Chains A and B, each alone.
Chain A
Amino acid sequence: MTISQMVTSRAAAALDVSRAARSSKLSAVVMLAAVAVLAALPFVAFSNVTDTLVNLFVLIALASMWNLLAGFGGLVSVGQQAYIGIGAYSVIAFADQGVQPYLAVPLAAVTCVIFAVPTSWLAFRLRGDYFAVGTWVIAEVYRLLVVRIDSVGGGSGKGLAGMSDLDQTLRGALTYWVALALALATIAACYLLLRGRLGLSLMAVRDEETAASSVGIDVRRAKRVVYLVSAAGCGAAGGVITVSSLSVNPDAIFSVQWSAYMIFIVVIGGIGYIEGPLLGAVIFFGLQQLLADYGSWYLVLLGAIGMAAALWLPRGLWGLMRDRTGLSLFPVGYFVRGRDA
């Protein structure tokens, strides 16, 4: 046994390394219970409740994907509406071909990945802030191309086929479950991605790209994986928006407003934490319900809150809570404690 091995093993023996604190295990149980309640909701609640919650789930999914992209990958995009739009239009197109619309939602995610591969090649030529506006231009290009395709309704949009044979109550419940599944899947995808080797490389890349690449991390590959996953998530979200609204309008679905929502949710909730978008989406959703009667003043307020959060609360509300309580619902780091301490 060499000296260094001896030192390492002795050090390891004196330390206790674990993923989760007791609070995380407890909160996991609470979260499982919450998911079970949410899944059973269509049986007990009125459909207007579940219909509203679909919007919340879509926001959670979108914000989680943006958080993965910006908070962990360091890729600040203002163009994820490109994939929301492509996902929405894929569902329309698949439904026209006779595919069941709910089954078209995962196919929409796959379509988005196919589109995201060449797009990432182009977008990754831009760095930092220019990446943000570049992705926006790309989203605009997709919108301008889509409105030229007459078979999906051109500039005026199109209705979703294949939904009329479903009973309205069943349709509401199915949409709700698909939206819930989407939100859970995006959170789970973020959690699993970040727990592994990729998560470590990503955080290294985000914190110091040059140093990360000098210790052998394939920076471009790590970023590309994140970009593709995020495209898939946003595409599926676009699909869910379509099956929920039963039609698509190019100007609305490719609107930069989606990016505004994602960014504000993540910034207010806490960028770089998996819990951030969850908390942010709930707050945003609450504000939306509360201020719906005030028209565009609500967006003014939202913009102001976002600016204030970016300036004075750079790690968001979850960052604040975590500093106070040490709570972590989705532990992606490690706790290291001394044995005898």
Chain B
Amino acid sequence: MGWLNAVIQGLLLGGLYALFATGLSLMFGVMRIVNLAHGDLAVVASFLALALVSGTGLPLWIVLVVTVPLFAVLGYLTQRVLLQRSLSSGPLATLLVTFGLSIVLQNVLLEVFSADTRTIDGGSFGTGSFELNGSISIGYLSLATFLLACAVLAAIQLFLSRTGLGRMLRASSDDRETANLVGADSRHVYGIATAIAFATVALAGLMFAMRSSFDPATGPSRLIFAFEAVVIGGLGSLWGTLLGGMVLGVTQSLGAQIDPALTLLAGHLVFLAVLAFRPQGLIAGRTA
């Protein structure tokens, strides 16, 4: 029954990948920005939570409640101060700015926290699990992460489809100039999109930190996971991202079942296969 267990664990991990990839997908969908600092932001959130937990002794859920809104504010400011300026300088500029940001974040973390590998102790909740039957046991943390990811994706989907601001976001994503003409302030809308993206990144970063170890150089490999989830699922579709995250999670988990060294390679190869045979992704979203 090892294989079934691997599939289930992979699906649960996939939820986390999807949560993490949502921000990337949103920023690309709305602003055409591929945020190369995406993974590093998650690692920054992990380190921030670590510092808060060990510095103040606050329980983890309070840290979570503090960090996520803080990142949303940071996201809004980053967009208004840094990214908006780069948007007007052409597509290369945004890529270079986020890449520069990634290098800066990584090396500041390295100077402040050293290169040691860390992890956040989730307590009994982090390690506890319940048994489904003899061979399959599901960790509380994995299940909670998965449910949280689905809830956040559903909330973002509702926000995009039902609220006025969400409509403006979709309109700006379809055609910025026209949206501006009918009264959407694209800079504000972009700021909101980045704020949501940063908040989900922080949330995902905290979940990653409880599941597995991290160090200042972890960001780029995380970014690759998010990117793969987005492309496998289909650009511009939130549910596609969830599906993509799950496909990636299951593939990695099955790869690990064969040989632990194959974990990453299996994920990359599925990504390349999707690229080669179904470049629009499994669920073709709005790509324009």
Contacts and interface: CB of A to CB of B under 8 A. Distances in A.
A314 B89 contact: yes
A300 B102 CA distance: 10
Interface stretch (B28-36, B116-124, B186-194): B28-36
Nearest to A136: B224
A76 B95 contact: yes
Interface string A238-262: 0000000000000000001000100
Contact of B272 (A129, A138, A260): A138
Given A129-B95, A137-B228, A303-B107, A310 B272 contact: no
Contact of B279 (A78, A125, A137): A125
A295 B111 contact: yes
User: Which 3 A-B residue pairs are closest in the complex by CB-CB distance?
Assistant: A303-B103, A307-B100, A129-B34
A51 interface: no
Task: Classify the interface of chain B: helix, strand, loop or mixed.
Answer: helix
Interface string A290-318: 00000111011011101101110010000
A144 B235 CA distance: 26
26 contacts: A70-B92, A129-B28, A129-B34, A129-B91, A130-B34, A132-B34, A137-B227, A137-B268, A141-B272, A144-B264, A144-B265, A271-B92, A296-B111, A299-B104, A300-B107, A300-B108, A303-B101, A303-B102, A303-B107, A304-B100, A306-B99, A307-B97, A307-B101, A310-B93, A310-B100, A314-B90
Interface residues of B, number: 46
Given A76-B95, A78-B36, A314-B93, A137 B272 contact: yes
Given A130-B231, A263-B96, 18 more contacts: A78-B99, A129-B95, A133-B34, A133-B36, A136-B220, A137-B224, A137-B228, A137-B268, A144-B264, A299-B106, A300-B107, A302-B103, A303-B101, A303-B103, A306-B100, A307-B97, A311-B86, A314-B93
B286 interface: no
Interface string B253-288: 000000001001100110110011001000000000
Contacts of A322: none
B268 A140 contact: yes
B227 A297 contact: no
Interface residues of A, number: 40
Contacts of A297: 107, 111
Contacts, number: 118
A310 B86 contact: yes
Contacts of A132: 34, 36, 95
A154 to B, nearest CB: 10
B267 to A, nearest CB: 9
B143 to A, nearest CB: 29
Interface in B69-101: 82, 85-86, 89-97, 99-101
A310 B90 CA distance: 10
A129 B87 CA distance: 13
A76 B92 contact: yes
B223 interface: yes
Nearest to A260: B103
B103 A299 contact: yes
Given A133-B36, A141-B268, A256 B220 contact: yes
Contacts of A128: 32, 91
A127 to B, nearest CB: 10
B103 A306 contact: yes
Contacts of B220: 136, 256
B227 A133 contact: yes
A140 B39 CA distance: 16
Contacts of B104: 299-300, 303-304, 307
